[in-house]
Every structure is written in C-alpha cells, then in structure tokens.
Structure 1
C-alpha cells in the first residue's frame, strides 16, 4: 500500500540553479508510492535566491534559518521541521541534487517491505574528490569499531526513516552537530534499530557549477582546501567527544529496539 504521508526534508545553501528541478524529479518518482508528498527545505541563509526559486510551490515549505550555521545544524533543523508535518515516512536528502529520482521509491519501498526503521542510500559512483572519500572512509572505520559492525557509507545524506526512529535519534544528538548522520549511524546500531542498506547512484551536484560550498565555488583542488581541513578537524573532534570516547553521551544511550 502507498505511504499515507511522505515528507522529504532537505538542507540547502545556494542551490537556486538546481533545487526546483530536483524536487520536481523526486515528486514525479515518489508519486506511485505515496498518497501525499510534502517537501521541507531548510535554507541556510542562501545568498543566491534559493527560497525565491521555490516560491509558489504548494507542497514545498521553506524554513529560512535565522543564521548561517552550516550543513549539520541545517540538516537537523530540516528533520525537526519535517516532523511537525506528522509524516508516516520521512526521507532526508541534501538540496544539491546528487541523487536520481528513480532511487527514491526504491528507498521508501525497501523501508516498507523490510519493515525497517531506517534505510540508508549507499552511494555508488561518487564524484567527490579523493580527500572527501578518504575522510568518509576514515570516519567509517572508527564508527565500525565502536558499533561492532561495518556501516556502509556512514555519512550518506540519503535516508528514509520511520518517525519513531528519527525522533529517538533527534533526541540523542545535539542541535548544532556538525556531522549528525555519522552520529545517527552509530546511534542506530546502539539502539538496536532495524537498518537496511540500498545501493544508489551518486551524481555531480546539479546546476551550472559542480563545486559545492566546501570548495568556495573554485575549480576542484587536488589537495584539501583549508576550509575543509578545518571542518574535518572539528568534525573528528565532535565524533570523538559525542560518540566515541569513554563516557561520551552517545555511548550511554539505551539499546532497546524502537517501538513501532
């Protein structure tokens, strides 16, 4: 049976070029598996008119953030805003459009068919530079050790959740987390949630420029730019403090399975 109310949430920063077409593509492909679809875009103080690009679209709710805080806090704000719409299933995806429409119904169908709490879209064909892939792999190794199992693509932004599961995760993670999906991946294991993994296609960022804000709009560097190096240091420190070190808050969360 189709999902009664499916909510798609996405953080966005300067995505005016591609976000409207991305939402149209998602809506078209999700229509057969949902009776009603709503979109929530948490705009992180874009300077290119991203909110204006979505004006007048009835099923798109734009939540303008009070300050530019970066991807992690904006993603969490998107989740929380989406939950206020009382979804039966919630899907998260970044606003840069690095996924294709046909993979969205596959994600939702896997959640329903497998009676899972969460389904991760594991990225195939990532076009990110080597140092971003290396960072994801390094963090994934640390999380695998802590979780006691390998978690493919630990920081993937494409995920489908049942509301009971995402509520528990949101309660466990600080609202200003830099890498909430890394924390989510570990917390899901510790909480005993039923997690499934689905291979999905990763494509370049939509719009005229394929470079995201981490690259400052310049051509892709061969070495990590300073901004990304600073972010990586802060993110690794956060993961250690919140999820990995003895006594870390996310080491002490209860491990009972989620109630549906």
Structure 2
C-alpha cells in the first residue's frame, strides 16, 4: 500500500468518550492514515470534540451532519468526501473500540491482492470478546441467513471493519442505497460481489464496547431481515426469467468452471 492515501471513515453518534482514544490508537498503528469523523448531530458533543482534535492534527477531518440519518448514509457521505479529495483507499471502522485499529495493517496488506478486504469475526483466527450470548447468536444467525439468501461465499458479511480500493467504490451504484442501519454492510458487499470484485476475509478480534450504548435496535434487525429476504427472493426469481442466462452462484465457481472473483 506504499504511496496510497488511506482515509478511515468513522461514523459517530454520541461517542464523546470513545472518539479521542480510537483516533490515538489508529495513528499509533497506521501513522500515515487520515481519519474522517462523520458525526450525525451527536447531542453529547462528539462533533465539537472531533473538530478540536482536527484543529490539532491535520490527519483528522470532520464532516458534520445535522440529523441522525443512519449508518449507511453516513458511510456513503464519507466515501464521497474521500474520493472527491483523492484518497485511494477507504476504510470503515467503528468509533466505539469494537474494531481494533492495531489490526488495520492486515486489512490494508490484503488489498495487495484484492479489491475489498473484510474484517471477519468468523473465519479461522477471528473471534468475539465480551459479547452476551444473545448478541453472538443473533450475529451468527444473521450471517447464515445472509449467506444462504444471497448466495454469498462469506462468513461475516455484516461486519463493519473493512478496507476497499477507491476504484471499486466508484464502480458501485451507491446512489440507490436505501439501507439505513447495519444492513448497509450486507447491501454493498453484495453489490461488490455481483460486480465481480475480488473479496477476501481477514480474521479480526471484535470486542464489545466499554463506554456508551450500542446502536443496535429491533428496527435495525428487522430492516436487515426484510431487505436480505427480499433481495434473495428477487435474485432467485430473476434467475428463472425466460431467456436469462443463469449467473454462477458465488462460492460454486469450481463446479461451474467459472471464477466469480470472490476469494
């Protein structure tokens, strides 16, 4: 990744206790990386603190938004901000410390042979720390359902620690992304796979936050379940249309003698 400009997009809402430590850890791990804090009008002062940090460090930038519009729109805004300013690699990372910046070099290294590198909790070497059992079961079940419904050859399509070449972001149709919550992660990795991107999973450690409250809610889970199910049904129905050439199912390329580009 030598010579490439890296931008880490960090969405925030009420993360005033976490934002400074996570940025310090990021720059200790990857000193040359820049960070963009995308704050959705946090009432706890996260945006104001981020601007103070940006005034002290030219590697920190802030994009202030007036309303809580959700994770998906925050990342899309961050991607566009970064590409407009010439960043070559874009990274997604949570502000709450659940993603370890110390593992970012492994994600960046994986981009030497891939378009998109996903931090995965569920490949060999990956793990989850300090999560209650019901959250772990929910995450596991969600990924199994996503893998089956969308025929994705990925063990952790819902994870939010990932790095991508800017050229792939430019190729994907983000203008019609409607996903608000964590379903956005599934939405755009599915788009990437269908576009023929080379996707790899890199083992990471995911740790439950220490400060603040989780943004996970019943409505976010329901959005993901409804959208993934609907996308899967549409995908299978489209394969049955008369005259349509059935596309290879990701993960079964060896059986069909074709490569999907997913690794």
Task: Show the counterpart of 1:240.
Answer: 229
Calculate the TM-score normalised by the size of structure 1: 0.79
Unaligned runs of 5+ in 2: 122-126, 249-258
Inter-CA distance 206–78: structure 2 relative to 1 (3 Å threshold): farther
Task: Show the counterpart of 1:219.
Answer: none
User: Aligned with 2:169: secondary structure?
Assistant: helix
Q: Measure, in 2, the Cα distance between the counterparts of 1:229 and 1:182.
A: 17
Q: Which has the larger radius of gyration?
A: 2
Q: Measure, in 2, the Cα distance between the counterparts of 1:172 and 1:193.
A: 19
Corresponding residue pairs, total: 234
228-237 vs 102-111, which moves further: 228-237
Q: Measure, in 2, the Cα distance between the counterparts of 1:193 and 1:89.
A: 15
Q: Measure, in 1, the Cα distance between the counterparts of 2:138 and 2:176.
A: 21
Q: Measure, in 2, the Cα distance between the counterparts of 1:42 and 1:176.
A: 17
Q: Measure, in 2, the Cα distance between the counterparts of 1:97 and 1:52.
A: 19
**Is 1:182 aligned with 2:180?**
no
User: Aligned with 2:120: secondary structure?
Assistant: strand
For the 8 Å contact 2:19–2:96, the answer to whether it is kept is yes
Task: Show the counterpart of 1:94.
Answer: 94
Task: Show the counterpart of 1:153.
Answer: 156
Calculate the TM-score normalised by the size of structure 2: 0.78
Task: Show the counterpart of 1:220.
Answer: none
Unaligned runs of 5+ in 1: 215-227
Pairwise CA RMSD of aligned residues? 2.8
1:175 is displaced (CA, Å) by 4.8
Inter-CA distance 235–146: structure 2 relative to 1 (3 Å threshold): closer
9-18 vs 162-171, which moves further: 162-171
Task: Show the counterpart of 1:52.
Answer: 48
**Is 1:144 aligned with 2:133?**
no
Inter-CA distance 20–75: structure 2 relative to 1 (3 Å threshold): same
Aligned ranges 1:1-260 → 2 under 5 Å: 2-31=2-31, 36-54=32-50, 55=52, 56=55, 57-112=57-112, 115-123=113-121, 124-171=127-174, 173-178=176-181, 179-207=183-211, 209=212, 211-214=213-216, 228-241=217-230, 243-246=231-234
